[in-house]
């Protein structure tokens, strides 16, 4: 069975400081991993996915299969980054896929 | 393009009752997934529908069921409500329901069971 672990419930950093949100996964197949973000009073939305290997809003995430990790990083935190962040893993079954989410990390950027 | 809509936004029921929640996907999207979000368990996958067929189901009791109509709108039903069913129920739609398609989430329906 697949599992996603986000060890930190809450992470507080100062504006301009680097940010790293940790995500570890457990999955027997080839993982497809995502980061979702939920800003205050907004919907859950996709931030980035590992297959795209892109940087969104200054955030990047690298899949490390050896350490089974997919940590989210940003070199300089901004106040608008304050939000709830969820790491998710997709698994395929019967032609569809489902997302398994971690429990989320609340990022608070202190001005 | 209008986003995913869910109705109603809030619902209060008592134990033993049943409830039906509705989800309208983004136009052109054929896959609809449902998730339950609670403070204790986080976001958990309920089921996924594609072209009116349930393709995948999470680990929930049979009291949780759903369906999808020919216009891709979906409903989920919970029968014999229990206190533990109190949660935010999220619906998400995507084009084809593969990991290459982004899932777009609705605002959720907040269900309170008294």
Summarised one tens digit per residue, pLDDT across range B48-99 is 999 999 998 999 999 999 999 999 999 999 999 999 999 999 999 998 877 7
Please give the structure tokens belonging to residue B105.
């989430």
Beta-carbon separation of A104 and B55 below 8 A: no
Among B48, B100, B106, the residue with its CB nearest the CB of A96 is B48
Q: How near does any CA of chain A get to the CA of B31, in Å?
A: 9
Flag whether residue A12 sits within 8 Å of chain B, measured between CB atoms.
no
Chain A residue numbers touching B35 (CB-CB < 8 A): 99, 101
Using pLDDT thresholds of 50, 70 and 90, give the confidence band for residue A1: confident
pLDDT of the residue at A98 = 82
Using pLDDT thresholds of 50, 70 and 90, give the confidence band for residue A79: very high
Among B45, B97, B105, the residue with its CB nearest the CB of A44 is B105
Instruction: Give the residue on B whose Cα is nearest the Cα of A104.
Output: B42
Whether the link from the prior residue into B8 is cis, omega within 30° of 0, is: yes
The tokens 């995913």 sit on which residue? B4
Is residue A11 a contact partner of residue A110, using CB atoms and an 8 Å limit?
A: no
Residue pLDDT, tens place only, A39-51 = 999 999 999 988 7
Q: What is the SS3 assignment for B58? A: coil
Q: How near does any CA of chain A get to the CA of B110, in Å?
A: 13
How many CB atoms within 10 Å of residue B27? 10
Mean pLDDT to the nearest integer, A60-80: 94
Secondary structure letter of residue B28 according to DSSP: T
User: Residue A92 pLDDT more than 70?
Assistant: no
The pLDDT > 90 percentage for chain B reads: 88
Tell me how far apart the alpha carbons of residues B92 and B102 are, in angstroms, rounded to a whole number: 10
pLDDT of the residue at A94 = 52
The pLDDT > 70 percentage for chain B reads: 98
Q: Count H helices and E strands in chain A, helices first.
A: 0, 11
Tell me how far apart the alpha carbons of residues A66 and B109 are, in angstroms, rounded to a whole number: 39
Beta-carbon separation of A43 and B106 below 8 A: yes
Q: Which residues pair with A48 in a beta bridge?
A: A35
Instruction: Give the residue on B whose Cα is nearest the Cα of A88.
Output: B43
Instruction: Give the residue on A whose Cα is nearest the Cα of B31.
Output: A96
End-to-end CA distance of chain B: 37
């Amino acid at each position: 069975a697949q599992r996603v672990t986000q060890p930190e419930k809450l992470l507080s950093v100062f504006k301009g400081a680097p940010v790293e949100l940790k995500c570890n996964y457990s999955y027997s197949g080839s993982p497809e991993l995502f980061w979702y973000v939920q800003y205050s009073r907004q919907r859950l939305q996709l931030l980035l996915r590992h297959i795209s290997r892109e940087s969104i809003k200054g955030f990047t995430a690298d899949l490390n299969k050896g350490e089974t990790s997919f940590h989210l990083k940003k070199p300089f935190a901004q106040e608008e980054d304050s939000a709830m962040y969820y790491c998710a893993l997709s698994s395929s079954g019967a032609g569809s896929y489902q997302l398994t989410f971690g429990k989320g990390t609340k990022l608070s950027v202190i001005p | 393009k209008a986003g995913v809509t869910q109705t109603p936004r809030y619902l209060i029921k008592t134990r033993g009752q049943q409830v039906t929640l509705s989800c309208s996907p983004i136009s052109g999207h054929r896959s609809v997934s449902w998730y339950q979000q609670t403070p204790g368990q986080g976001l958990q996958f309920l089921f996924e529908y594609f072209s009116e067929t349930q393709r995948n189901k999470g680990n929930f009791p049979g009291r949780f069921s759903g369906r999808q109509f020919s216009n891709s709108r979906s409903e989920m039903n919970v029968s014999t409500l229990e206190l533990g069913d109190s949660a935010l129920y999220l619906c998400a739609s995507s084009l084809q329901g593969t990991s290459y398609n982004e899932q777009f989430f609705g605002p959720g329906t907040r269900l309170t069971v008294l």
